[in-house]
């Protein structure tokens, strides 16, 4: 978890660090949308990425106890965009990363459900002592 | 980042909540407060107009779900006006189209309510 994100050779990388506070989520999502717009994504796909990043940041703000910052790393890959959202919150996050079931009228899990729906690959790396890293990949349409 | 919230009385005992801008973890408390105040006043039939909303995330959806649950306890309902395809898509993929009435115009949303 303390190792830097393994970046793909040759990929352009953009890093952003924002305070783990609600008022900074807009900056985070708009910044990543700007990176996505440099690739060949459609407007709809850029909106997908924007929402997924916002949901990941919101999850960190709501559940990452003690994390002061959120680190966002964007890798412009040949087949799309990989975004890592990392926080330093302590404690288990089982509920925070559990997706909801459709037809449930509960609020919890909607964000994770959206991330998994909008992005192509989503992985969580949860360490109760070191924080959580969410890595999500959006592929360019063929 | 901006959020605009305004409330107006419509026909019958219905109220319309006009929302505009971006609804996210930072701005959604303002929306929650506006809807909550109406319900506290005994308004249980609401049309929430999302036509001028450019962006909504899960916290915004959560506020709408919370409002719907509260009015249902009193036999009321919440209908939405949504014409933005990107916003509509979020309701589609989350399955919330099944629990909200979603309409293309305020007139249609109002008629379905009363």
- Report which of B79, B88, B75 is spatially closest to residue B111, judged by C-alpha positions: B79
Which residues have a Cβ under 8 Å from the Cβ of B21 and sit 6 or more positions away? B1, B2, B3, B4, B27, B52, B53, B54, B55
Q: The pTM is what?
A: 0.90
| Lowest-confidence pick of A32-36, A105-109, B35-39, B85-89 | A105-109
Supply the ipTM of this predicted assembly: 0.91
The average pLDDT across A107-128 equals 89
Query: What distance lies between CA B17 and its chain's CA centroid?
Result: 7
Pairing of strands B101-103, A69-77: unpaired
- Give exposure, A83-110, as e/b (b: 16+ Cβ within 10 Å): bbbbbbbbeebeebbebbeeeeeebbbb
CA dist., res. A20 & res. A138, Å (int): 24
Task: Map out the domains of chain A with their CATH numbers.
Answer: 12-139 (3.30.565.10)
B94 confidence band (pLDDT: 50, 70, 90)? very high
**Interchain proximity A105–B24, CB inside 8 Å:** no
Contact criterion met (CB below 8 Å) for B55 and B3 = no
CA dist., res. A30 & res. A20, Å (int): 16
Question: Across chain A, what does the average pLDDT equal?
Answer: 87
What is the least distance, in Å, from the CA of B94 to any CA of chain A? 7
Tell me which of A66 and B62 has the higher pLDDT: B62
Residue-level pLDDT at B53: 97
Contact criterion met (CB below 8 Å) for B46 and B35 = yes
| Lowest-confidence pick of A6-10, A80-84, B33-37 | A6-10
Task: Map out the domains of chain B with their CATH numbers.
Answer: 3-97 (3.30.750.24)
**Phi, psi for B33 (deg, rounded to 5):** -65, -45
**Phi, psi for B37 (deg, rounded to 5):** -65, -40
Q: Is the predicted pLDDT of residue A94 greater than 50, yes or no?
A: yes
CA dist., res. A110 & res. A18, Å (int): 23
B76 confidence band (pLDDT: 50, 70, 90)? very high
Residue-level pLDDT at B8: 96
Q: Give me the residue from A44, A57, A113 closest to B94, CB to CB.
A: A113
Residue-level pLDDT at A65: 83
B12 confidence band (pLDDT: 50, 70, 90)? confident
Q: Which of B23, B59, B63 best probes binding to A when mutated, by most A CB atoms within 10 angstroms?
A: B59
CA dist., res. B69 & res. B77, Å (int): 9
The average pLDDT across A54-80 equals 94
Contact criterion met (CB below 8 Å) for A86 and A71 = yes
| Lowest-confidence pick of A99-108, B7-16, B41-50 | A99-108
| Residues on B contacting A at a C-beta cutoff of 8 Å | 1, 22, 24-26, 55, 57-59, 61-62, 65-66, 68-69, 86, 89-90, 93-95, 98-99
Q: Is the predicted pLDDT of residue B43 greater than 60, yes or no?
A: yes
Which residues have a Cβ under 8 Å from the Cβ of A50 and sit 6 or more positions away? A29, A30, A32, A33, A36, B55
The average pLDDT across A111-127 equals 93
**Interchain proximity A51–B57, CB inside 8 Å:** yes
């Amino acid at each position: 978890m303390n190792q830097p994100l393994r970046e793909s050779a040759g990929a352009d990388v953009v890093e952003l660090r924002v305070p783990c506070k609600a008022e900074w989520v807009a900056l985070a999502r708009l910044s990543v949308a700007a990176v996505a717009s440099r690739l060949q994504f459609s407007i709809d796909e850029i909106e997908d990425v924007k929402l997924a990043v916002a949901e990941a940041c919101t999850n960190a703000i709501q559940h990452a106890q003690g994390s002061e910052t959120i680190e966002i790393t964007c890798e412009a890959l040949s087949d799309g965009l990989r975004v890592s959202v990392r926080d330093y919150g302590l404690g288990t996050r089982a509920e925070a990363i559990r997706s909801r079931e459709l037809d449930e009228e509960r609020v919890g899990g909607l964000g994770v459900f959206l991330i998994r729906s909008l992005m192509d690959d989503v992985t969580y790396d949860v360490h109760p002592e070191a924080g959580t890293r969410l890595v999500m990949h959006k592929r360019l349409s063929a | 980042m901006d959020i605009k919230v305004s409330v107006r009385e419509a026909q019958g005992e219905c109220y319309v909540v006009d929302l505009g801008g971006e609804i996210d973890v930072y701005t959604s408390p303002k929306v929650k407060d506006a809807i909550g105040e109406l319900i506290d006043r005994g308004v249980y039939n609401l049309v929430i107009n999302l036509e001028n909303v450019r962006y909504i995330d899960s916290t915004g959806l959560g506020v709408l779900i919370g409002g719907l649950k509260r009015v249902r306890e009193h036999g009321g309902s919440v209908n939405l006006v949504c014409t933005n395809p990107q916003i509509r898509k979020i309701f589609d993929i989350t399955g919330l189209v099944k629990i909200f009435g979603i309409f293309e115009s305020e007139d249609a949303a109002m008629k379905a309510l009363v």
